[in-house]
Amino acid sequence: MVLLMRHGAHVVWVGLLVCCLAEIGTCLEFTGAEGQWARFPVWNACCESEMSFNMKTKSSHGLLVYFDDSGFCDFLELLMQNGRLSLRFSIFCAEAATVLTETAVNDSEWHVVTLRRNFKNTTLVVDSEVKWVEVKSKRRDMTVFSHLFVGGIPPDLRSTPLRLTSSVVKDQSPFAGWITDIKVNKLESVMVNNSDGVLADLCGLANMCLNGGVCSLIDNEPSCDCSQTGFQGKDCSEGPSLLKCHLNVCVRMVMANVPSGLAHLMMGDQDVANANTSTTSPGGKYISFFGSNNGCWGCKQGSVTVLWASHPGCQPDIAPLGGREGNLGY
């Protein structure tokens, strides 16, 4: 907890902030440009493994995920057909198994997608919908040689059909929309490279959402959703507060999970006052600040009070002695 005072402007700031960066990995915007693609490390989906990501789109068609054994027998492709997800895969040149979800994903809302490989079975999960399909193969495990491609496949693969195991993937349109948080076996998969038409890290490196705020994209710009955090502001850093100023003395208090124990206030020019915190929540409990430099600081029953008194020995639970008072509710 830190207190700062600017004598010239008579501004006092009291802040307590618990910051937590939202756990959102790389966010990719796919413009739908012809020939676009994003390349990720090989996903060894041979036996028991899973891949997951979040997606948002208003398009009805487009290739989401593709990998194969470089033109022999095994492949897996996930694409959009009429706004729904279609999974198709084969092992050991068996007839491809296909499953189509009921959940529409072209509603410009975020959806969570998971692919689970289990030898001959593959499960597709979209939000709460779960579907699985089994390939009729003489071999159990899938062979994977290619990288994991997301949002499209490179033109050099499209132009060389013998390098693609799936006979139809080259005809699929590229995906247009956003994909975030690509994980393999619950670990973030780091993109190797990408083509033009794929914009990276709109929510990843640019994400400044604090206190559990969720980054999303509005008009192609990252924006923080603070609605479930109890905080506000552009980056969810501002606690809910009612600020009152009296006689040019302004006090601001941001409360978030106050720990028990001893804290310190830095006041004025290197003057230090102790703050005895005795609660983990503001509701009806008491936090007392015993100050110096003619300043007493108190927090009682959900408000913080700053008392500027005529002598340094005042207590925070008494009325100000002809001084200046600023109260803040939260």
User: Can you spell out the DSSP letters for 125-153?
Assistant: EETTEEEEEE---S--SPP--SPEEES--
CA angle centred on 29, ends 163 and 102, rounded to 5°: 75
Give residue 206's region: left, alpha or beta (phi > 0; psi -120 to 50).
Answer: alpha
Given a contact cutoff of 8 angstroms between Cβ atoms, the answer to whether 273 and 295 are in contact is yes
Query: Which residues of the chain carry a pLDDT beneath 50?
Result: 1-24, 206, 241-330
Nearest Cα neighbor of 24 from 54, 58, 65 is: 54
Asked whether residue 56 is assigned to any structural domain, the reply reads yes
Bridge partners (DSSP) of residue 271 are 267
Residue 212: CATH number of its domain: 2.60.120.200
Residues 42 and 10 in one domain: no
Residues 98 and 121 in one domain: yes
Residues 186 and 291 in one domain: no
Asked whether residue 240 is assigned to any structural domain, the reply reads no
Q: Which residues, at least 6 apart from 302, have a Cβ–Cβ distance to it below 8 Å?
A: 282, 283, 284, 329, 330
Q: How many CA atoms lie within 13 A of 2 on its CB side?
A: 4
Residues 151 and 293 in one domain: no
Residues 10 and 39 in one domain: no
Please write the tens of the pLDDT for every residue from 154-210.
Answer: 999 988 878 899 989 999 999 999 999 999 999 999 999 999 999 876 665 545 688
Residues 31 and 9 in one domain: no
Given a contact cutoff of 8 angstroms between Cβ atoms, the answer to whether 121 and 108 are in contact is no
Residues 212 and 318 in one domain: no
Asked whether residue 186 is assigned to any structural domain, the reply reads yes
Asked whether residue 105 is assigned to any structural domain, the reply reads yes
Task: Report the distance separating Cα 227 and Cα 211, nearest Å.
Answer: 11
Asked whether residue 238 is assigned to any structural domain, the reply reads no
Residues 190 and 268 in one domain: no
Residue-number span of the structural domain to which 97 is assigned: 27-225
pLDDT number for residue 281:
36
pLDDT number for residue 35:
94
pLDDT number for residue 166:
96
- Please report the sign of the dihedral spanned by the C-alpha atoms of residue 140, residue 145, residue 149, residue 154: negative
Asked whether residue 183 is assigned to any structural domain, the reply reads yes
Residues 109 and 213 in one domain: yes
Residues 31 and 13 in one domain: no
Residues 210 and 265 in one domain: no
Residues 105 and 145 in one domain: yes
Asked whether residue 114 is assigned to any structural domain, the reply reads yes
Asked whether residue 248 is assigned to any structural domain, the reply reads no
Overall domain count for the chain: 2
Q: Which residues, at least 6 apart from 65, have a Cβ–Cβ distance to it below 8 Å?
A: 51, 76, 77, 78, 115, 148, 149, 150
> What is this structure's pTM?
0.59
Please write the tens of the pLDDT for every residue from 228-242.
Answer: 888 888 888 887 643
